[in-house]
Every structure is written in structure tokens, then in C-alpha cells.
Structure 1
Amino acid sequence: MTRTHATVEAAVRVLELFDADRTEWTLSGLARHLGQPTSTVHEQLQTLSASGLLVRVGRGRYRLGWRLLKLSSALYGSLPWYAPAHDAMERLARGTHLLSFLCILHGDQVLCVARSVQGRDGPPVAGELDFELPAHATASGKLLLALARRPLPAAATPFTGQTLIHPLDWDTETRTIRTRGHALSQDEWAVGTSGLAVPVRGESGVVLAALGLSLPTARMHAHESLLRALHTAAAEVGWTLGNRG
């Protein structure tokens, strides 16, 4: 690894530690968490702050900087499907009172790029704040991997007794997903949390993202009506993007 690559990787590790649960870090806290000397982390923070990616607030405390908002706006603006899919996600949340989200397949990772909690009622569900989701244990992950014809991930962690961790079971599940055009998960990531997901397709039927709902397992009795709502929303987005399949 070159020095430049190592420097960029170190900066990314620092930025990824900031999330909705931990919006601020101190220099000493970051150094302890990363297991690095304070002087090394201080240099990284100085560089990130100078570039606007971090901002110093108060004595030795740091938050994400506004420049990240500019970069994220540019990213979303470069994706023609994002705006209509995001609108559909918001409508689903309001109509179902559930956590709705958009996920993409990035290499071997399933990333939750947007979520909405508007109008949601009921108890919390697993993964409300996670950016990277376990691909083999979530509805969106299983859907995206199945449609991409990917095998069971090598490090398939058994989160619960319902998690799929055997290749033969995975093959059966993914064939079913491709036939039905949607994916379900039930108590596979966390007991008490289930999920539903359908593909968002663009022109020529290419899979762009997964549109999903996360819900308490107790509400899975209504999964058929929720799937209809998901399929309708995804079809509307696809039509906007030129998918006439």
C-alpha cells in the first residue's frame, strides 16, 4: 500500500466513525478507539478540518463538516433514479407507517443509501441506523444478491437461528426470489424484525436498487398487502425511468 493510499484509508476510517449515534468525537476518544497515537490522529483531524470534511466545535470536539453535504448532493444528483425512488420511499413510509429504505449493491456490500421514518409507529426494528447491511440476512440484501446471481457470502454470520448460512438453502432461496420478484426476511438478522424488498428497475430492466420495508415480525401477517404497495411503488418509479417491462 502506498503512502498516499494509506493516508486516504486513514481519513476514511475517521469519517466513518461519525454517525447518527455518535455525531461528535474528541481527539482523545478517536485515538483510543483507533488505537493510534494522539499526534497521528491530531494530524488527520487537522487535515480533514482544513478541507471542510470535519469542523471543530468547542474544545477538542469534532463534527462532520458541511462540505460532505455538497459532495452527497452531487452524488445523488448524478443518479437519475434516486429522486423518483426517494419520493416513492417517502410515500411508502407515510402510507404504511413503517421504516422504508433504498439499498444498493456495491461490490460485495449492501448499502442503505436512504431511509425514511416519517409516520412510523410501533417498536424500533433492527438496522434503523446501519449503512452497511448483512447481505444474507436482510430482505434487500437477499434480493440484490439473488438478482445478481451471487453466491452465499463467504462470511455468512448466523445472527439468529433463522439466518441462512448453508449454500444449498441459499440456492433454493435465491431461485424463489428470482421467480417471485421480491424477497422476505423473518427474524434472520434480529429476532422480532422482518423485512420485504422489491427491485427498482430502470430502462431495459436493469436492477438499480432495492426498495424495502422493515417491520416488527408481528406485523408480517399483512405482508401480502405490503408487497402489493412495494411492487406498485417500484413499478411507478420504473415507468418514470423508462422501464416498460
Structure 2
Amino acid sequence: MSSRSGSGERILAILDLFSENQTQWTPEEMMAYLGYSRPTLYRYLKTLKDAGFLISHPQAGYMLGPRVTELDFLMTRADPMIEQAKPELEYIAAQFPGTAFLVRWYGSKLLCVDSVVSVDTPKSSYPRGRPMPIGRGAISRAIAAHLPARDRRKLVEDYLDEFAVAGVGTTVEEVLAALRSVRTDGSSTAWGEVTPDVVAVAAPIFGVEKSPQGAICLTSNVTDVSSSTLIEIQNLIRDVSQRLSARLGVQDRQNGAVA
């Protein structure tokens, strides 16, 4: 049952139900999960359906509607991080075979919001819009390593099993020590943790905030990455993350963002 009390929050709780594991919900399932009364739920569903956020089918129940697609279109044209990162993604992909990713960090989720591919058959388990795992992979550690200390510890505690599976550490202190190394290095590298036979290098992106807003990453087939090439990739990813952070920081200050 949702702990949200305001009507706006209660409506958002309905949208939060939808995930890759369950893309369709019946009213009965919603009432059982959220604890809403039938009249209240149907009032909220009508609001969401009228606005295009949901559509319904007699046999399937409710699913996300076309307004979500429209907002995605607008987001790709309004997000300054996407605008600033696009030429950098193209440059990275032109230098090395693979897929250059731009990832947004929000709440406790990692989400690819843009990418550029420079190979005919890219290997990726997480296309644009699919949340990435926490604890496994270069992107996750690049973000986690640069979170404020309290947030970093809580994230490690919440996802310790995932960090352990990735071989980062089996205790909170071991994982935190590994993340300190990532923080010192400025980038994170992972071999086959998220997608088999793929090496990934990632670095965080900051604005004026002390916490990372996202990350830049390159994934390549392991057969395309020699030891010397890996060093070149790591240097480039660090350089790009620093350039993007500097530009976004200036832009945030001009727009009046508060750290």
C-alpha cells in the first residue's frame, strides 16, 4: 500500500506501478496493491486516461498511453545534458568501436537517455529507457563512488548483494574501499558484469550539484580493447566527463540552479 497521501502523489503512485516486469494492471490489482477505494481509483484513472497517460483494454486492463511518448520526445529536446553530450557521444563513438552512452541518475535509478553506436552489431542489454542495475557495471560504480558519503553508504547497504555478485566486495567496508579507488581514479571499468563479453568504461557528470547528475560511458566488445586501447578509452571518458561537467555547471549557474 502506498504511503503517499496527497491526491497528486496518489496519482503518481499509479504511474509508478508500471515496470518492465508488469506493463499492464487491472483495477483490481491496483486496488489490492495501493489500497485505494474503487471510487477513488476510478477517479484517478479517468484523470490519467483523459490526459493520455494511460490507455485501457477490456481484456488487459490499463497500460501507459501516448502522452508518455510525447513527453519523451520533448525531454530529448529540452534536457541540457542531452544537448551538451550529443557531440561528445559522437566523438567517442568515432574514436573507438562500440556504443557511447549518456546516463541520467535520478532517485535510485540509472537510465540511458541517449547513445551513439559505431559498430554494426552492438552488444547492449540496456537500451535507451531501460533502467540499469545498481551495483553491477562501470556506470553504477562511477555514480556510487561520487555520491555524498551518507548516500553512498546507504546505496551500498541496500545493494550489497549486487556489489558482491560483481566481485566488488562482500562487506560494506570492502565495497566502500573499492569505490574510493574509483573516486580517486575518476573513472570505472567493468568486464562483462552487465553484458557478457563487453568492457565498459564510465565517468560521472556533475552540474553545480555536489552529487552526480549522470554518467558518460563507452561499451566495447572485449576483443576490440587491448591494454593500450583501454588506457586511451579511460583517458577520453575522463576528459569528456570533465568537459561536460564544466559546461553543465556554467549553464546551471546561468539558469539559477542551486547547489
Taking structure 2 as the reference length, the TM-score comes to 0.67
Give the equivalent residue in structure 1 for 2:187.
182
Q: Are 2:234 and 1:230 equivalent residues in the alignment?
A: no
**Would you say the 8 A contact 1:160–1:191 is kept in 2?**
no
Q: CA deviation at 1:212?
A: 0.7
Shift of the 157–121 alpha-carbon distance from structure 1 to 2, 3 Å rule, reads: farther
More helix as a share of residues: 2
Residue identity opposite 1:82 in structure 2: I
Change in 2 beyond 3 A, CA 1:70/1:123:
closer
User: Counterpart of 2:80?
Assistant: 80
Q: Of residues 26, 33, 50 in structure 2, which corresponds to 1:31?
A: 26
Distance 1:214 1:153, change over 3 A: farther
Q: C-alpha separation between the residues in 2 aligned to 1:90 and 1:63?
A: 35
TM superposition shift of 1:121: 3.5
Shift in Å at residue 88 of structure 1?
A: 1.8
Matching of residue 240 in structure 1 with residue 247 in structure 2: yes
1:135 is matched with which residue? Answer: 134
Deviation of 1:68 after TM superposition, in Å, equals 2.6
1:211 Cα deviation (Å)? 0.5
CA shift, 1:55, in A, is: 5.0
> Mean alpha-carbon deviation: is it higher for 195-204 or for 167-176?
195-204
Partner of 2:13: 9
User: Which residue does 2:115 correspond to in 1?
Assistant: 116
Alpha-carbon contact 2:202-2:216 (below 8 Å) kept: yes
Distance 1:224 1:76, change over 3 A: same
Aligned residues of 1:98 and 1:121 also touching (Cα < 8 A): no
| In structure 1, distance between residues paired with 2:27 and 2:198 | 33
Percent of counterpart pairs with the same letter? 17
- Report the 3-state secondary structure (helix = DSSP H, G, I; strand = E; otherwise coil) of the residue aligned with 1:157: helix
Q: Distance in 2 between matches of 1:99 and 1:142?
A: 18
SS at match of 1:83: helix
In 1, Cα distance between equivalents of 2:181 and 2:79: 30
Look up the equivalent residue of 1:80 and give its one-letter code.
P
How many angstroms does 1:210 deviate by?
1.0
SS of residue in 2 equivalent to 1:142: helix
Q: Rate the CA distance shift 1:118–1:55 in 2: closer, same or farther, 3 A.
A: farther
Structure 2 partner of 1:167: 172
CA distance in 1, matches of 2:212, 2:6: 37
| Structure 1 position 67 matched with structure 2 position 74 | no
1:145-183 C-alpha deviation (Å, 9 max, x unpaired): 111141224233348463544323312211211111111
Q: Secondary structure at 2:83's aligned position in 1?
A: helix
Residues 129 and 163 of structure 1: CA distance in aligned 2, closer, same or farther (over 3 Å): farther
**Alignment gaps of 5+ in structure 1:** none
1:147 aligns with 146
Q: 1:220 to 1:154 in 2, by over 3 A?
A: farther
Pairwise CA distance, 1:9: 1.0
Q: Indicate conservation of the 8 Å contact 2:198/2:220, yes or no.
A: yes
> Structure 1 residues 141, 106: closer, same or farther in 2, change over 3 A?
same
CA RMSD of aligned residues (A): 3.9
Query: Which whole-Å CA distance do the structure 1 matches of 2:91 and 2:65 have between them?
Result: 30
**Residue segments in structure 2 that go unaligned for 5+ positions in a row:** 33-37, 251-259
Match of 1:208 among 213, 218, 223: 213
Give the C-alpha shift of residue 143 in structure 1. 1.1
SS at match of 1:231: helix
1:91 is aligned with what amino acid?
Answer: Y
Structure 1 contact 160–189 (Cα < 8 Å) conserved? no
Query: CA separation in 2, counterparts of 1:74 and 1:118?
Result: 22
Query: Structure 1 counterpart of 2:102, which letter?
Result: L
CA contact (8 A) 1:136 1:153 kept: no
Match of 2:256 in 1: none
Deviation at 1:126, TM superposition (A): 3.0
